[in-house]
């Protein structure tokens, strides 16, 4: 609600029929976005107050937030793509090979415990 008030208060007295409902609506829309996006869009130095002359509509606020989300969504998609790429490169072990690896790790852990107690 605080950032919605900052945004609303950054404009001269406007046309909102009911300022309380308008601010509550802004808060509801802003609440759907990460804090960094909210701060950017509502900051008078970087956000809508710098680019618009009149109080923004709820749609304009939502559009501005969506615009700020684009790089974040691209980063997220790229990260997911990389993770999928790594998964594709990993060999798929058959159950017998998995058992050998598991047994080897158990044996290694046991050996390391014994070595740790000798130090």
What is the domain count for the chain?
1
Which residues span the domain enclosing 88?
2-118
Q: Is the pLDDT of residue 3 over 80?
A: no
> What's the mean per-residue pLDDT of the chain?
84
pLDDT, position 11: 57
| Position 15 confidence tier, pLDDT thresholds 50, 70, 90 | low
More confident residue, 20 or 7: 20
Q: Does residue 61 come out as left (phi exceeding 0), alpha (psi in the -120 to 50 range) or beta?
A: alpha
- DSSP one-letter code for 33: S
Does the pLDDT of residue 1 top 80, yes or no? no
Between CA 27 and CA 59 the distance in angstroms is: 13
The tens digit of pLDDT for each residue in 42-86 reads: 999 999 999 988 888 899 999 999 999 999 999 989 988 888 777
pLDDT reported for residue 119: 52
- Whether 35 has a pLDDT exceeding 90, the answer reads yes
User: How many residues are recorded in the chain?
Assistant: 119
| Residue 38: pLDDT over 70 | yes
Element (H, E) at 68: helix 58-89
């Amino acid at each position: 609600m605080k950032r919605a008030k900052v945004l609303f208060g950054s404009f001269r007295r406007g046309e909102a029929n009911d300022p309380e409902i308008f601010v509550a609506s802004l808060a509801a829309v802003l609440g759907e976005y990460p804090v960094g996006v909210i701060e950017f869009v509502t900051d008078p130095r970087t956000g809508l107050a710098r680019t618009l002359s009149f109080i923004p509509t709820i749609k304009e606020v939502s559009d501005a937030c969506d615009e700020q989300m684009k790089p974040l969504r691209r980063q997220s998609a790229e990260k997911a793509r990389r993770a999928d790429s790594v998964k594709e490169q990993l060999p798929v072990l058959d159950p017998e090979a998995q058992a050998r690896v598991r047994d080897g790790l158990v044996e290694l852990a046991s050996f390391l415990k014994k070595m740790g107690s000798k130090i």
